[in-house]
Structure 1
Amino acid sequence: MTAADSARRWLILADDLTGAADCAIAFGRRGLDAAVTWGEAAGIADRDLAVLAYDADSRGLSGDAAAARHAALLARWFAPDRVLFKKIDSTLRGQPAAETAATLAVLAARTGSAFGICAPAFPATGRTTLEGRVRVDGRPLEAAEVWRRDHTYASADLRAILAGAGIRSETVSLATVRGTGRGGDLATDLVADLAAELARIAATGPAVAVCDAETEADLDRIAAAGLSLAPAPFFIGSAGLAHALAALPTAPAMQPPSHAPSRFGSLIVVGSLAAASRAAARRLAGRDGVTHLPVDPGTLLVDGPARAAFAGRVAAILEAGGDALVEITTAGEPDMALGPRLARGLAEALDPVACRIGAVAATGGETAAALLARFGVDGIRLVDEIEPGVSLGLTLGRLAVPVATKAGAFGDADSLIRIRERLRAARLEGRFS
């Protein structure tokens, strides 16, 4: 590892806030100065961050619009001294193919060639890749709840998905990743062999290598082999690959930030429709010190007395030091098109409450981004990972409080209980332990 390697800097470009955070925290929990931001990011641009994660907020866009936004953001944020991590959803929601095509085009225009290493597996949450196809808990992604509720492509075949966006790709099989059948078994030799295979694919022109992975050890080999290449490739994946990359030797650790202790309670918002988040809300609602506040779409979509009364109840709970669990309710089959409007309506309703928040947690990237932006937050300095897919940090901007973000489909029934406990300790003690 050279001196240049130890000072490696990263740009993470994601399609939603929780994804940006759960990748950046892989580096932040190892002591690197890592932050996630969005919008104009005026308060972030001047910070010399080792890891900058940007929420492109492109998951709900069309393929063409998502590609154009990524191209514009790369023009603004990508620098030659940064390694690019293109974060995609581990279950392929949004427009990962169009965004990857835009990334290849931008990098090829700058350097004459471009090569991406795609490994979307996140074994800690049951997401794996086999024969170039995404699987959830050992079953095809197409059979999972998240696919039935929200998907863009006809199948979870990564090569077919990329080909649909005009991207040439090759699959790197699990046997190749693991060096199965090789004579020796030294880890360094296995990484060298994998690197040679990746280099072969890269040498044929702009392309993406789709890597199978079922375990964290598989991702570790992919990360090590990819970072050994010159010129550096860009990486396409979820937090599983980000953790593998962050685990490699890097710069000295930074001290975690401190903040003023607060007597106000925590605001915990469940905006995701995922079953995991709804189950966690039901479990947390039964805890002492937690007041459950279900709110229906009609209340949030109309700026009237009902919305003001709802905000008043939240403010009173937080002022008394209690924790407010706000859950957006739905009746029957949810209207997915209402998601952005509900997130904005909730953010507008709770804006007057911001000064009484001691800490905040949100499930679902769209909900988290809308809330924090409305509260005058333009970034999050990431500190730790409470559990896979759940990032802990300190808000930057007008509000400086502990914050936790969670992808809606991640976690189990006790995830919100664990999040609440970490937030309570951080806000009362004024530090992250």
Structure 2
Amino acid sequence: MRTLPSIAVVADDLTSAGDAAAPFHLAGFPAWISLGAAVMPPAGTVMAVDCDTRALPAADAAARVTRVVRQLTGADVLVKTVDSTARGHLAAEIAAALSAGGRATAVIAPAFPAEGRSTVGGVQHLAGVPVHRTAFAQDPGHPVRDADLTRIVPGAVLADGSGHLAGLAGRARYVVADAVSDRDLDEIVAAVDRPREVLWVGSPGLAEALARHLAPGRHPGRTCPMRRLSTRSRVLTVVGSLHPASRGQAERLGALGAGAMVPVTAAHPAHAAQWAERELAGCGAALLHGPADWAATGSVPAALAAVVSLLATRRAFDALVLTGGETARTVLDALAVRAVRLAGQAEPGVPLGVVDHPWRFPVAFKAGGFGDLDTLARLTDLLTTSAPAEDPCAP
């Protein structure tokens, strides 16, 4: 059996770190998500670091990425995640990771076919529509103004097929690769003769293709088995994302009667905590959400985290579902969580893990725009009666 490589994932937010590491875990790599500190992964393991740069100015984001990547240059495979809708400081962070990582070429392939995100002619699409013409154009933190990756990343060239990509790797500094299917992503990875000598830039779709290539025959699928619990868990869902997909999922969960939708404001965290605690004790589920107000977005994650902290002191929940990268990171920071051990994923783009808290509870998190209308309902049902197995994806 060949030795599996060490893999380092550098992300700009927590959900991106988790959903890029999960496919490797499914292929048999033990995986951890670090909330800040970078530790070189041993052979056959994955270290994903959330640099938490999405909300920083571009120069500060690049400086933080540089510091983290310098500690991970010895990894066999280096992955820089980017948002599959082109939000964030793509140009600055890719350039920083490429320089600090000592790689010659950044292969940029952010397509995620399982979630309807594709790259055609270098332009990023969601369900066939350029992302700057979707709801992501109104994102409160990073409104998407351009979907053309060759313009977003100065100096990037478009590879015209995997054969052209093979010739460009090692010669061009930035190469954008089109993909509309998982097969396209597999061909992109296979086209690079020395995958350990490039910086891989993408989303969960590219991570899945790399996992299939680096550990052939060991990929059990896109989900991991769960163990049934002897008692029902109390599941707390926290929705901080203002994306319409997340709002719709939250409303759907409420309509199904899976606990009350508890509104949260910075002024009354104790009231929200008491309400949520009653729901968790009574029906085993509750959902915290902020106001549907774009102007209030800066205070929403902190207000939600304050309520979760109050509930944690009372051990009022047994499992967490966190929606939105900034919200997920803010909540776990408030709970003094510094790492998450991955245990698989519930579905593409929704990783499952166990926190390093003295009270070791399971957590699931997803990006705000991921999933269909019933995603949160499925997660609540899954975690109410099941939990991640200790090593469900071990080879």
Q: Structure 2-normalised TM-score?
A: 0.88
8 A contact 1:393–1:402 mirrored in 2: yes
1:224 to 175, 186, 190: 190
Distance in structure 2 (CA, Å) of the matches to 1:341 and 1:224:
44
Equivalent residues of 2:8, 2:46 under 8 A apart: yes
Given candidates 145, 156, 165, the residue that maps to 2:147 is: 156
The answer to whether residue 365 in structure 2 is matched with residue 405 in structure 1 is yes
Contact kept in structure 2, 1:9 and 1:50, CA below 8 Å: yes
Kept in 2, the 8 Å contact 1:393–1:403? The answer is yes
Once the two structures are TM-superposed, the CA of residue 264 in structure 1 deviates from its matched residue by: 4.8
Q: Is the 8 A contact 1:7 1:250 kept in 2?
A: yes
Residues 200 and 49 (structure 1 numbering): CA distance in 2 closer, same or farther, change over 3 Å? Answer: closer
Determine the structure 2 residue equivalent to 1:96. 90
Partner-residue secondary structure (3-state), 1:290 = coil
Q: Which residue identity is paired with 2:376?
A: L
Which is higher, the Rg of structure 1 or of structure 2?
1
Map of 2:165 onto structure 1? 198
Match for 2:34: what amino acid? T
Q: Residue 186 of structure 1 aligns with which residue?
A: none
Deviation at 1:201, TM superposition (A): 2.1
Shift, 1:204, TM fit: 3.0
Aligned to 2:99: 105
Change (3 A) 1:269 1:72: same
Deviations 1:278-300 (A, max 9, x none): 111111112345222122xxx32
1:85-133 Cα deviation digits (max 9, x unpaired):
100001111101100111122134xxxx621111011111111111111
Which residue in the other structure is 1:373 paired with? 333
Identity of aligned pairs, percent?
Answer: 34
Residue from 404, 417, 425 that aligns with 2:377: 417
Cα offset, 1:351, TM superposition: 0.9
Distance apart, 1:372 and its partner CA: 1.6
Distance of aligned partners of 1:127 and 1:289 in 2 relative to their CA distance in 1, 3 Å threshold: closer
Look up the match of 2:286: 324
1:147 aligns with 2:112: no
Tell me if the contact between 2:165 and 2:177 (Cα under 8 Å) persists in the aligned partners. no
What is the correspondence of 1:275-424 to structure 2 with a 5 Å cutoff?
275-295=244-264, 299-300=265-266, 302=267, 306-320=268-282, 322-331=284-293, 334-335=294-295, 338-354=296-312, 355-424=315-384
1:263 and 1:358 in contact (8 A); partners too? no
Q: Are the equivalent residues in 1 in contact too, given 2:343–2:389 (CA < 8 A)?
A: no
CA-atom RMSD, angstroms? 2.9
Name the counterpart of 1:121.
111
Query: Aligned-pair distance for 1:45?
Result: 7.5
2-side partners of 1:236 and 1:420: how far apart?
A: 32
Say whether residues 1:169 and 2:156 are aligned partners: yes
Unaligned runs of 5+ in 1: 178-193
Q: For the residues of structure 1 that align with 2:59 and 2:144, how far apart are their CA atoms?
A: 15
| Higher mean C-alpha displacement, 27-36 vs 362-371 | 27-36
Contact 1:264 1:318 in 2 (8 A): no
Equivalent residues, number: 386
In 2, distance between residues paired with 1:106 and 1:431?
33
Q: Taking structure 1 as reference, are residues 72 and 345 closer, same or farther at Cα in structure 2, changes over 3 Å only?
A: same
CA change 1:315–1:428 in 2 (3 A) is: farther
Distance of 2:284 and 2:23 partners within structure 1: 31
Q: Which residue of 1 aligns with 2:203?
A: 238
